[in-house]
Amino acid sequence: MVTQVPQRFFGAFTCVGLLIGGYVMRRFRILPKGGLVLILSCIISYAILIFFMMVIGCPDITYAGDIQSNGGNLTMECNSNCYCGMYTYSPVCGNNETYFSGCFAGCKGYHDDGPTKVYYDCSCIPGGTVIQGACPVSCTIETIIYVILITFGSMISTPAEVAAVVIQFRQE
């Protein structure tokens, strides 16, 4: 049910684009050569829009430790006696910082607290506890912008479909 709402919303704008394409073709009595211009302009507009959509992105997860200047080494003073290896990625979140694993957070142990593990006695965390999983990264605004752009893109690209069909019928 939840996935049907965006599909219907997206489909409605696609239908609007088809209606606009039909209106433009009929109102201006576009011949096949003009239809090709309409198709080309729709494709170029959509390509420009896709370029802007590629630029949109969510922030990356940042890890505690100095990865860039330290050659990927996540060892810090608080976990230097733990001798952690980067063999298994099992992120934990504590104090709004993501650690590669409970070992890199300096944790001495963990217990299962329902569906997630809770690590305790962590020397790198002021409170001493972390939970399994990376810290959440907010991406709401970027997602909304992306959905708006892709919906608008469907509307500006579909008049090209109408023009292509009309050109094909007029050639026969």
Quote the CA–CA distance of 102 and 94 in Å, as a whole number: 10
- CB-count exposure of residue 1 (10 Å: 0-12, 13-18, 19+): exposed
Residues 94-116: tens digit of each pLDDT: 988 899 999 999 999 999 878 88
Q: Indicate the pTM of the whole model.
A: 0.69
Residues 30-77: tens digit of each pLDDT: 888 899 999 999 999 999 999 999 999 888 887 887 565 556 678 888
- Name the region of 29 (left: φ>0; alpha: ψ -120 to 50; beta: rest): left
- CA neighbor of 49 nearest in space, from 170, 171, 149: 149
**Amino acid identity of 79?**
N
Tokens at 164, concatenated: 């292509």
> Which pLDDT score is estimated for 172?
61
> Which pLDDT score is estimated for 6?
65
> Which pLDDT score is estimated for 85?
84
Tokens at 97, concatenated: 């910082």
Contact 111, 118 (CB under 8 A): yes
Tokens at 148, concatenated: 């708006």
Residue found by looking up tokens 């370029």 in the block: 51
Residues 115-136: tens digit of each pLDDT: 889 999 999 998 899 999 999 9
32, HSE (Cβ side, Cα atoms, 13 Å): 6
Quote the CA–CA distance of 6 and 12 in Å, as a whole number: 10
Contact 102, 119 (CB under 8 A): yes
Residues 143-156: tens digit of each pLDDT: 889 888 988 999 99
N-term to C-term CA, the chain: 43
- CA neighbor of 98 nearest in space, from 69, 134, 48: 134
